[in-house]
Chain A
Amino acid sequence: MSKLDKYLRTDQMPHFACPGCTHGTAWAAMIRSIEQLGLDKNKTVMVCAIGCAGRLPVYLDFPSIRTPHGRALSYATGVKLANPDLNVIVFMGDGDASAIGGNHLIHTARRNLDITAIVATNEIYGMTGGQYAPTTEGGRFASTAPFGMIENQLDVCKLVEGAGASFVGRGDVYHVRELKDLIASAITHKGFSLVEVFTTCPTHFGRRNNMKKPSVLVEHLKNLTVSKKQAEKMTEEEVAGKLLRGILLKEERPEYVETYDRLAGFKEEGESV
């Protein structure tokens, strides 16, 4: 039983995730933002793929599609083009979104199609046993990085900003009060919006990085980011090495379906959609 029962497949709960896996916290924030916006459940499509993050939307009672690994955004593109009146929300893991699905992420952002992508970054491939992800911080341990991660950490927000997203935000499950509003802003934005949420995998990331206790791992997120507003008052040295949190980019740009419909003669210029 929960206040959010109306959005859940309660007969499937509790969900599968490990104790203290805060993908669940990001997932819950998404549900609360949908509730806050009062979105029609039958006009909101959930698209997800593979991985622990990718499995959580299965517990939600929305029209939904589960796709092959990394392809959630491609299916979401199809849904949105077929029926632009639908709200289309994609919930993905960091590996799903930025490794195997990286190319799809780039081109969905580039088109500025009105879809919202939520990326749960736990810096690891949780489901398959803790391999490092493109988002793993340098020096961190993973099953495939027994001596520490030697590759550069991918900044998902910068990637999609460069690719042409018109809304980019970042949050985490330590600063959990900000999450619901951040996701709600992304959903209401017209155009491609992405919110990266730093989450935690105690089972694989925590265990290998000396932060096995779920709350210790969440506490670790506290100093990973600094809010964009705070950062403006800080010196360059103070901000160095930290990721920015909050709404990082929000611009009004021609949205794909609107442009397409106008060119195809479906809608006159200036006519509301």
Chain B
Amino acid sequence: MTKIIIEPNWCKSCGICVDFCPTNVLELDISGKLKVVDANACISCKLCEIRCPDLAIEIEED
């Protein structure tokens, strides 16, 4: 399965990855922290990874 790796110290909670994810895998929780809410829905498109301005999210396929 695809692994979604978030670097919490680099993520600035901008929401770009959340809003452009085609399958709504990601969410900002009430405190603004980035969370994976539906890992199974990830299609490994890597849009989050390549659009993140802070190198804070990566997709690892096995």
Using CB atoms and an 8 Å cutoff, list the residues of chain A in contact with chain B. Answer: 1-4, 8, 13-15, 17-25, 27-29, 32, 173, 176-177, 179-180, 202, 213-215, 218
Contact = CB atoms under 8 A, between A and B. Distances in A.
Interface of B: 5, 7, 9-10, 12-16, 18-20, 47, 50-56, 58
Contacts of A15: 54
B12 A177 contact: no
A182 to B, nearest CB: 13
A3 B10 CA distance: 13
Contacts of B10: 2, 13-14
A28 B16 contact: no
Given A3-B58, A215-B19, A176 B14 contact: no
Contact of A1 (B7, B12, B50): B7
B9 A215 contact: no
Nearest to A32: B50
Given A2-B55, A2-B58, A19 B14 contact: yes
Contact of A28 (B15, B19, B50): B50
A242 to B, nearest CB: 22
B55 A28 contact: yes
A176 B51 contact: yes
A14 B20 CA distance: 22
A22 B12 CA distance: 12
Contact of B7 (A2, A25, A29, A202): A2
Nearest to B13: A19
A202 B14 CA distance: 10
Given A1-B7, A2-B58, A3-B58, A25 B12 contact: no
B7 A218 contact: no
A172 B16 CA distance: 15
A218 B50 CA distance: 13
Nearest to A26: B53
